[in-house]
Amino acid sequence: MVAGEAVELFYFSDIMGRPPCCDKIGMKKGPWTPEEDIILVSYIQEHGPGNWRAVPANTGLLRCSKSCRLRWTNYLRPGIKRGNFTEHEEKMIIHLQALLGNRWAAIASYLPQRTDNDIKNYWNTHLKKKLAKLKGHDEKTTENGNSSDSQSITKGQWEKRLQTDIHMAKQALCEALSLDKSDTNSSIIDSKFFPMAAQNKQIQTSSTYASSAENIARLLENWSKKSPKKPSHQHLPGSSESTTQSYNNCSVGMTSSPSDGQISNLTFLSSNSEVSQLTPETGIFQDHESKPSLEMTQMPFSLLENWLFDDAGAQGQDGDFMEMALEETADLAHHLFRSPYNRAHRSSYLAELIGSLDRPYNRAHQLFLFSRAHQLFRSAIGRAHQLFRTAI
DNA sequence: AATCTTAGCAACCGCCTATAA
DNA sequence: TTTATAGGCGGTTGCTAAGAT
């Protein structure tokens, strides 16, 4: 949009409709700086994601709300795993792409640690070529009267495999909740569905999900290498070495462990000297690790938990459990959520719901539930639309 | 060593739907 | 009811680094 258009829209908004989210004149574009990232993360840590319109206004960021949302969802939010797609993930993406087409957001809902943008990029840069190569190879072998097995797999079979994968993921979580009596954190970490955690078992709390703090820390690490003038040093309690960088109203302290030299913690110091620790243990959700683990297994499941964990597949029923789950889900979604079509508030609402559960879930569990709720929610709405169209 | 080409990916753009005024 | 905005999504672009010449 050019400047003149922005002015015109602003004029119209005085007459009718909602006020504009932000004046786009003077908005910054291009790559985000570590300073901007930290401002955004610290704001979301305090206020939670959502209401993106308020973010530039309240933080002073010269970015439009859309840019803030994208930066958070694609790069900064907790739970994002970057790079190094596993073979399992590759297969999932290929299966899902065959099933769903280029619906990257839908595909990403099955891979909670990956963003739609990341999957889309990976597909465009790696998988498309890989498949083209395979296809070429297959065509060659077919010409020789030796067709490959993968070609003969129908879409229905892909779907069945996919459903099995999802079922396994859910079972892994259920097992983690029911089997582990001594340590509520470690069981899920060992799951094959959370490979990142297995890489760093030194961290007691679940590091399954790369936290935004880690992302920022990585950025800052690179940044401080590039600009050696800025950082000043200070020592923080409990750390052998730390680096603090000041800017605007807050400063950032990076603490590194003596053993591996990696940044393991990030401290935010606001201008009024309040200190908030942005670590893998804190974030959108509160961690209940200090609570007795017995609560984890002895409390009955709530309606919401049943909805998140149970479906026909998990209950051992035969048949098309995805379809069953969707039917039930559509009703439950309407029952549980007052405004299921209000996408704007969905994330914060789901986070609030999951946060309100009595069971002492740790943060990894909560993030999994959050992702699961999103997935079911989308399915429910999709199903509702489908039913609506059928009715018409 | 310099230049050109390619790959990877973060971020933008444009469109759509739901929502608010 | 109308209209602009917010949020979400998929396609595309453009920058950067790595590799090739």
SS (H, E, C) chain A: CCHHHHHHHHHHHHHCCCCCCCCCCCCCCCCCCHHHHHHHHHHHHHHCCCCCCHHHHHHCCCCCHHHHHHHHHHHHCCCCCCCCCCHHHHHHHHHHHHHHCCCHHHHHCCCCCCCHHHHHHHHHHHHHHHHHHHHHHHHHHHHCCCCCHHHHCCHHHHHHHHHHHHHHHHHHHHHHHHHCCCCCCHHHHCCCCCHHHHHCCCCCCCCCCCCHHHHHHHHHHHHHHHCCCCCEECCCCCCCEEEEEEECCEEEEEEECCCCCCEEEEEEECCCCCEEECCCCCCCCCCCCCCCCHHHHHCCCCHHHHHHHCCCCCCCCCCCHHHHHHHHHHHHHHHHCCCCCCHHHHHHHHHHHHHCCCCCCCHHHHHHHHHHHHHHHHHHHHHHHHHHHHHC
- Asked whether the predicted pLDDT for residue A330 surpasses 60, the reply is no
List all nucleotides in chain C with at least one atom under 7 A from a protein Cβ: 2-12, 15
Distance A159 CA to B5 C1' (A): 40
What is the pLDDT at residue A16?
41
Of chain A residues 48-107, which have a beta carbon within 7 Å of strand B? 66-67, 70-71, 74-75, 82-83
- The percent of residues above 90 in pLDDT, for chain A, comes to 0
Residue A389: CB less than 7 A from any atom in strand B: no
- The percent of residues above 70 in pLDDT, for chain A, comes to 28
Q: Which residues touch strand C (CB under 7 A)?
A: A 9-10, 12-13, 16-22, 30, 50-53, 65-66, 69-70, 73, 102-106, 116-117, 120-121, 124, 343-344, 346-347, 378
Band of residue A139 on the pLDDT scale cut at 50, 70, 90? low
Residue A126: CB less than 7 A from any atom in strand B: yes
pLDDT in tens, A9-47: 333 333 344 444 444 567 788 888 888 888 888 888 888
Distance A145 CA to C9 C1' (A): 42
Asked whether A296 and A184 are in contact (CB, 8 A), the reply is yes
Q: What is the mean pLDDT of residues A138-165?
A: 44
Band of residue A58 on the pLDDT scale cut at 50, 70, 90? confident
- Asked whether the predicted pLDDT for residue A265 surpasses 80, the reply is no
Return the top range by mean pLDDT from A89-93, A171-175, A341-345, A383-387: A89-93
Amino acid at site A304: L
What is the pLDDT at residue A127?
84
Mean of pLDDT over chain A: 53
- How far apart CA A368 and CA A193 sit, in angstroms, is 11
The pTM for the full model equals 0.47
Neighbours of A78 (CB within 10 A): 24
- Asked whether the predicted pLDDT for residue A184 surpasses 70, the reply is no
What is the pLDDT at residue A266?
31
- How far apart CA A284 and CA A369 sit, in angstroms, is 13
